[in-house]
């Protein structure tokens, strides 16, 4: 049975359409690598790409795209709302079918070494691929962002896992990891006061005593006149999207601010949305087996199709 992984590389470019298209092009051309989705956000100044396919073609396409990003993105000139330390900021490998997390960890380690050899960009391993326990959390690896890491990289505790203790002069460093499926989930609020988003993000994220398995920051969406609580729900089975939404709605009321909309950024498991749909529709005893398309896919899979 063929091995299938998901990969969600994040690039520090969300404004120059020609560069965005050049980065994405290798994923379109590479056989065995399916481009599921890509989204560029000008406020974040970030490109998030969702891929699925066999490990080998995904790696080859990643290297092609990374070389484009390293050539065209200069972090010394980069500004945006989202934290970043590299032109290619993160590359996570996610097991989907017929491959274990342990195999994805080995894949991350092999790829990280080859990536450094071909681009000259130092690599940090994070999440399940971390070589040090404190580096499991991406926010710890990325602390200080590109500007701060330029100084801190010389300290022994901040040395990269692959490469010399110095950043690439324009492309910074890259975090390569293996992890479970996460949901990139944003809640946009009807105010221009970014303090509100930052305070609510602090109340929601696990590191500040909020919901477990939720990471979050507050950002300003200046072009839209809104602010955003931008989150990664790293285990949607243990903290449903509706629970996250309702906590933010409750906190926003304290500030007299409405929830304008929510966003799912990139791909999302059906179960993550169905659970929230059942909650808001108040469907008693609902099961994903009641969804025709999912049941048909299950039947086709059991036939070996």
**Site of tokens 């477990």:** 212
Are residues 140 and 134 in contact, defined by beta-carbon separation less than 8 angstroms? Answer: yes
82, 109, 116, 168: the catalytic one is 82
Catalytic residue status for 168: no
Are residues 82 and 31 in contact, defined by beta-carbon separation less than 8 angstroms? Answer: no
Are residues 46 and 20 in contact, defined by beta-carbon separation less than 8 angstroms? Answer: no
> CA-to-CA distance for 302 and 305, rounded, in angstroms?
7
Give the pair of three-digit tokens for residue 278: 């059942």
Q: Where in the sequence numbering do the catalytic residues fall?
A: 82
């Amino acid at each position: 049975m063929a091995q299938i992984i998901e990969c969600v590389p994040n690039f520090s470019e969300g404004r120059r359409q020609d560069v965005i298209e050049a980065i994405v092009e290798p994923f379109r051309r590479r056989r065995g690598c399916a481009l599921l989705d890509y989204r560029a956000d000008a406020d974040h100044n970030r490109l998030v790409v969702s891929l699925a396919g066999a490990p080998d073609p995904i790696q080859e396409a990643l290297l092609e795209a990374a070389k484009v990003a390293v050539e065209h993105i200069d972090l010394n000139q980069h500004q945006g709302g989202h934290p970043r330390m590299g032109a290619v900021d993160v590359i996570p490998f996610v097991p989907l079918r017929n491959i274990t997390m342990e195999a994805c960890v080995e894949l991350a380690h092999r790829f990280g070494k080859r990536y450094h050899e071909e681009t000259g960009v130092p690599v940090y391993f994070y999440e399940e691929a971390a070589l040090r326990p404190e580096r499991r959390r991406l926010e710890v690896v990325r602390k200080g962002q590109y500007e701060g890491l330029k100084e801190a990289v010389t300290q022994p505790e901040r040395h990269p896992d692959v490469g010399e203790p110095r950043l690439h002069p324009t492309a910074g460093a890259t975090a390569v990891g293996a992890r479970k499926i996460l949901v990139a989930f944003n809640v946009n609020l009807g105010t221009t006061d970014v303090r509100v988003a930052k305070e609510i993000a602090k109340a929601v994220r696990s590191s500040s005593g909020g919901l477990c398995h939720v990471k979050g920051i507050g950002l300003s969406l200046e072009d839209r006149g809104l602010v955003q609580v931008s989150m990664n729900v790293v285990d949607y089975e243990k903290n449903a999207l509706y629970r996250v939404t309702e906590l933010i709605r409750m906190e926003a009321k304290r500030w007299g601010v409405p929830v304008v909309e929510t966003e799912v950024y990139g791909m999302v498991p059906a179960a993550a949305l169905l659970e929230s749909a059942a909650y808001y529709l108040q469907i008693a005893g609902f099961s994903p087996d009641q969804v025709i398309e999912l049941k048909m896919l299950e039947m086709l899979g059991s036939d070996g199709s």
